Amino acid sequence: MENTTPTQTENVQQSVQQPLPNSTAVLVLGILSIAICWCYGLFGITMGIIALVLSGKARALYNKNPEQYTEGSFKNMNAGRVCAIIGTSLSSLYIAILIIYFMVIGAALGTLFTQFPWESF
């Protein structure tokens, strides 16, 4: 067995970088928020908000101790955050379009049936 001092093992453990927590989850949720934003906007906006919250927590962890985490996981988290922002924006836009669409249809149907044909006789 090798004789190692505690400081040598501590230095080895500190130099090992680990992936940023939830970086892959942020990336997956961000991509899904874009892909699913056309499903009435609700699923896309939900996944986008969850990805943004997770990316905020991961970014805070990375800013505290950047040398502890790998650069690749930080880039994945940033890409997922950008995808989540795009997906949330598209979902919000789609929800706004649906609201306007239903308001126009409702107004058209409301004016169409103001006078029924059998009441004109």
pLDDT score recorded for residue 29 = 95
Q: Which two tokens stand for residue 20?
A: 């940023």
Q: How far is CA 36 from CA 8, 31, 55, 119, in A?
A: 50, 9, 19, 47
**Residue 69 covered by a domain:** yes
**Residue 71 covered by a domain:** yes
Give the number of domains in the chain: 1
Read off the pLDDT of each residue in 115-121 and give the average, rounded to a whole number. 68
**Residue 66 covered by a domain:** yes
Evaluate if residue 11 carries a pLDDT over 60: no
Which domain, by its residues, includes 50? 21-114
pLDDT digits (tens, 9 = 90+) for 46-62: 999 999 999 999 999 99
Burial class (CB in 10 A: 0-12, 13-18, 19+), 55: buried
**Residue 5 covered by a domain:** no
Q: Among 10-19, 60-69, 110-119, which stretch is predicted with the lowest mean pLDDT? A: 10-19
Q: Which residue has the higher pLDDT, 73 or 113?
A: 73
pLDDT digits (tens, 9 = 90+) for 74-110: 999 999 999 999 999 999 999 999 999 999 998 888 8
Q: How far, in Å, CA of 17 to CA of 69, rounded? A: 5
Task: Give me the half-sphere count of Cα atoms (radius 13 Å) on the Cβ side of residue 93.
Answer: 9
**Residue 29 covered by a domain:** yes
Helix, strand, coil abundance in the chain, percent, nearest 5: 80, 0, 20
**Residue 46 covered by a domain:** yes
